[in-house]
Amino acid sequence: MRTQVAIIGAGPAGLFLGHLLQRAGVDAVILERKDRAYVEGRVRAGVLEQVTVDLMERLGLDARMRREGLVHGGTNLASDGEVFRIDMAELTGGSTVMVYGQQEVMKDLFDAAETRGVPIVFDARNVALHDIDGDHPYVTWEKGGLEQRLDCDVVAGCDGYHGVSRGAIPAAVQRTFERVYPFGWLGVLAEVPPCDHELIYCNHERGFALASMRSPTRSRYYIQCSLDEDIADWSDARFWDELCLRLGPEAASRVTRGPSFEKTIAPLRSFVTEPMRHGRLFLAGDAAHIVPPTGAKGMNLAVSDVVMLSEALIEHFQENSAAGIDGYSARALARVWKAERFSWWFTSLTHRFPDRDGFDRKMQLAELAYIKSSRAAQVTLAENYVGLPLV
């Protein structure tokens, strides 16, 4: 088998890239380790920046998102129960975000891949990259007990943080930067109306909490927890009690409790590997960088990477120019680092750090009070939250 671009991974990065290349007439094949139900079933991102909304529209995949997604012009910060609103639309000259779950985005992308003929190989086991330093790279994998081979011009490593692509880059030419946070997020989905029509990010002395949603009838809530927490110790009743304590009496009075149908703990990490290209391998999305979820940047960064990568690859194949692919890593990383900074800052502002003392907490509260009183600080938060432009 031969193609121009072998894409490893059918998460948001791989699927969006596959669609962008197909639209431009560049051949690509996507290799995914799992099956469609698994990838689509993972409960992850909830908030789409304008870049992601624009891309859904550009690909003609926005009809259901426009119908079912929720446009948010504001978001809320709370400290010790007192909630204040950041009017993002007013502060940024009209920018908003869209609440539309990653699971819905994936469904739309998979459905369209079927009807438009974007080739995806599911259940591709033991994917391995070969000769990415040379002129004739290829990828091998196993399916149904048979070894398969795909020759290609370039490989796009879109296989997430635990994928194989990043590891194909020699350690000697790779630099990684990392911060592991000493806590995780315990997340719950429940078929109950959200407590607010927008999100609430809470700093509380017992730890961070986030009130989010998937629809007017489905809530997504998170609370900060320790990393050694056993999920079995978190009955629904205990979760709702702790959430309500942290949200404070006003927001808590609007919380509708109900049985959870998803409950997981996710660790928090900041991570970047540089460069995002080695030879004929290009990394995109979580394969190259991770942000803590505070600020909802992860999937949106995967999207901005593949928008840039698709432009570079299309230029390469259609105009026989190397300028775009040579500039890809630096261009993508410039935006990645700004999102890393925002996600790290927002995490630092809102979470309880077990190793820090009363002074650090006072600094958090002072900064929250400053944001509340300063339009300049609110503009800074708002323009980062809705997403920085692609340059």
Binding site for ligand RFL (CB under 6 A): 8-14, 31-34, 39, 44-47, 102, 124, 127, 158-160, 162-164, 185, 187, 266, 285-286, 293, 296-300, 302
Joined together, the tokens standing for residue 281 give 């391998």
Residue nearest to ligand PHB (CB): 46
Beta-carbon contacts of residue 108 (< 8 Å; ≥ 6 apart): 56, 61, 64, 65
Residues in the chain: 391
We find the least distance from the C-beta atom of residue 266 to ligand RFL, in angstroms, to be 4
Interaction partner, residue 286 (ligand PHB, ligand RFL, none; CB < 5-8 Å by kind)? ligand RFL
Return d(Cα 32, Cα 322) in angstroms, integer: 28
Helix and strand numbers (H, E) in the chain are: 12, 20
Q: Does 212 bind ligand PHB (CB under 6 A)?
A: yes
Beta-carbon contacts of residue 177 (< 8 Å; ≥ 6 apart): 270, 271, 272, 273, 274
Among 47, 268, 303, 336, binds ligand PHB (CB under 6 A): 47
Closer residue to ligand PHB, CB minimum distance, 139 or 188: 188
Q: Does 160 bind ligand PHB (CB under 6 A)?
A: no
Return d(Cα 35, Cα 106) in angstroms, integer: 12
Residue in 98, 97, 152 with CA at minimum distance from that of residue 129: 152
We find the least distance from the C-beta atom of residue 94 to ligand RFL, in angstroms, to be 21
Q: Does 295 bind ligand PHB (CB under 6 A)?
A: yes
Run of H or E residues at 128: strand 125-130
Q: Does 293 bind ligand PHB (CB under 6 A)?
A: yes
DSSP label at residue 136: S
DSSP label at residue 256: P
Q: Say if CB 32 and CB 10 are below 8 A apart.
A: yes
How would you label 42-61 residue by residue, b for 16+ Cβ within 10 Å and e otherwise?
Answer: ebbbbbbbbbbbbbbeebeb
Among 33, 220, 277, 278, binds ligand PHB (CB under 6 A): 220
Q: Does 387 bind ligand PHB (CB under 6 A)?
A: no
Closer residue to ligand PHB, CB minimum distance, 97 or 276: 97
Q: Which stretch binds ligand PHB (CB under 6 A): 20-28, 149-157, 225-233, 288-296?
A: 288-296
We find the least distance from the C-beta atom of residue 353 to ligand RFL, in angstroms, to be 19
Number of neighbours of residue 96 by Cβ within 10 angstroms: 16
Closer residue to ligand RFL, CB minimum distance, 263 or 372: 263
State which of positions 323-382 bind ligand PHB (CB under 6 A).
Answer: none
Closer residue to ligand PHB, CB minimum distance, 19 or 220: 220
Q: Assign 361 to helix, strand or coil.
A: helix
We find the least distance from the C-beta atom of residue 183 to ligand PHB, in angstroms, to be 15
Residue in 285, 337, 308 with CA at minimum distance from that of residue 179: 337
Closer residue to ligand PHB, CB minimum distance, 137 or 295: 295
We find the least distance from the C-beta atom of residue 165 to ligand RFL, in angstroms, to be 8
Residue in 190, 187, 211, 198 with CA at minimum distance from that of residue 81: 211
Establish how many alpha carbons lie within 13 A of residue 200's alpha carbon, considering only the half-sphere containing its beta carbon. 29
Closer residue to ligand PHB, CB minimum distance, 273 or 350: 350
Backbone angles phi, psi at 238, to 5 degrees: -65, -40
We find the least distance from the C-beta atom of residue 48 to ligand RFL, in angstroms, to be 7
Q: Which stretch binds ligand PHB (CB under 6 A): 65-73, 122-130, 291-299, 361-369?
A: 291-299
Interaction partner, residue 265 (ligand PHB, ligand RFL, none; CB < 5-8 Å by kind)? none
Catalytic residues: 72, 201, 293, 297, 385
